[in-house]
């Protein structure tokens, strides 16, 4: 995989880094683990330099490499692919080898390397897409092989996603409707099927939030990543984009006050270390809310209200906008 990822790779990595606990149910389903959600997730370096035959080094970025620390410690490597290609196993082996070498142990003239548990999430699949893939190595004295698990997103129904807690898949669920996009553009009746599905997603997330099984930040992150994926996959289908954004994008705006509140709390906690926690939180909340209110108003005045959800979800863009509008 090249340094520059697709919008789907970017959504995959962003969601994993922002809401890492969401990956644990996926590991449970894929590798038959029994993680409870209380385990610690530690990210490993995802940049590696591969030596090519011509002596040049090529920089590669894996989609995700991390350890889960619970009763034991396990390494995982996960990749996100829109479609299968013939070189995926070669790339996976290159990545897995580098990941194994990163914490290889040399002792008593013996190098011990531990390969990660590896899986690929295919957002699309065909009848010929395998359920598993195998990497087999012939070594002096015999052979060794390991399995690369294949996750086929389009096999998961919405009921299964919610019942198994596979919320990580929600931003990519639009791929399950991709083959129906032309019909949705032609028929309002057909489009109603899409509308009902995404209303179910929003309803399901709100129920989980009320039950305190997910927090507002996680819900908004799922919505935001879903809209980013939608913008790419449905770029030629305006009715599809409009329908999904009306349902999910509207909910992001609805919760902007909570996002502002969270921003204020975060700033308040930082100030509280020096000024006293109670006073710092109060001041930080007030300052954070005021800055965000000013920014939202500036965007509205400039006719950029449609950018508000993305700005609220991205701290780097917030800082950029604060500088642009001279908000201190």
Encode pLDDT of 188-209 as tens digits.
999 999 999 999 999 999 999 9
Encode pLDDT of 260-272 as tens digits.
555 555 555 555 5
Q: In the predicted model, what is the mean pLDDT of residues 88-114?
A: 90
| Beta strand extents in the chain (DSSP E only) | 40-43, 47-51, 57-61, 64-69, 73-81, 105-107, 110-112, 117-122, 132-139, 142-152
For residue 279, pLDDT beyond 90: no
Coil, strand, or helix at residue 103?
A: coil
Model pLDDT, residue 127: 87
Model pLDDT, residue 137: 94
Coil, strand, or helix at residue 164?
A: coil
For the beta carbon of residue 129, count every other beta carbon within 10 angstroms: 15
d(CA 76, CA 26): 12
Model pLDDT, residue 123: 95
Coil, strand, or helix at residue 140?
A: coil
For residue 2, pLDDT beyond 50: no
For residue 4, pLDDT beyond 80: no
Confidence band of 176 (pLDDT split at 50, 70, 90): very high
Query: pTM of the prediction?
Result: 0.72
Encode pLDDT of 18-38 as tens digits.
899 999 999 999 999 999 999
Q: In the predicted model, what is the mean pLDDT of residues 302-327?
A: 74
Proportion of the chain above pLDDT 90, given as a percent: 52
Q: In the predicted model, what is the mean pLDDT of residues 159-163?
A: 97
For residue 159, pLDDT beyond 80: yes
Q: In the predicted model, what is the mean pLDDT of residues 269-291?
A: 60
For residue 43, pLDDT beyond 50: yes
Q: In the predicted model, what is the mean pLDDT of residues 144-170?
A: 96
For residue 278, pLDDT beyond 70: no
């Amino acid at each position: 995989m090249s340094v520059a990822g697709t919008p789907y790779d970017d959504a995959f990595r962003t969601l994993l880094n922002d809401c890492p606990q969401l990956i644990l149910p996926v590991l449970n389903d894929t590798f038959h683990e029994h993680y409870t959600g209380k385990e610690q997730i530690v990210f490993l370096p995802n940049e590696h330099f591969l030596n090519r035959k011509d002596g040049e080094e090529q920089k590669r970025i894996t989609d995700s490499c991390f350890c889960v620390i619970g009763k034991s410690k396990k390494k995982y490597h996960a990749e996100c692919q829109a479609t299968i290609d013939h070189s995926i196993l070669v790339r996976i082996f290159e990545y897995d080898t580098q990941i194994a070498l990163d914490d290889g142990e040399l002792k008593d003239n013996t190098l011990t390397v531990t390969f990660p548990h590896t899986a690929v999430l295919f957002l699309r699949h065909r009848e010929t897409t395998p359920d598993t893939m195998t990497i087999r190595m012939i070594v002096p004295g015999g052979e060794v092989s390991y399995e690369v698990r294949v996750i086929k997103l389009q096999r998961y129904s919405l009921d299964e996603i919610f019942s198994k807690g596979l919320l990580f898949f929600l931003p990519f669920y639009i791929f399950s409707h991709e083959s129906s996009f032309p019909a949705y553009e032609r028929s309002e009746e057909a489009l109603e099927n899409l509308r009902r599905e995404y209303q179910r997603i929003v309803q399901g997330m709100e129920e989980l939030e009320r039950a305190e099984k997910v927090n507002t930040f996680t819900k908004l992150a799922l919505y935001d990543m879903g809209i980013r994926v939608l913008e790419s996959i449905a770029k030629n289908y305006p009715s599809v984009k409009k329908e999904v954004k009306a349902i999910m994008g509207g909910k992001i705006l609805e919760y902007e006050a909570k996002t502002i509140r969270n921003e204020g709390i975060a700033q308040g906690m930082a100030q509280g270390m020096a000024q006293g926690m109670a006073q710092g939180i109060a001041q930080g909340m007030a300052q954070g809310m005021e800055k965000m209110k000013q920014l939202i108003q500036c965007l509205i005045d400039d006719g950029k209200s449609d950018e508000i959800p993305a700005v609220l979800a991205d701290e780097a863009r917030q800082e950029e906008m604060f500088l642009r509008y001279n908000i201190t």
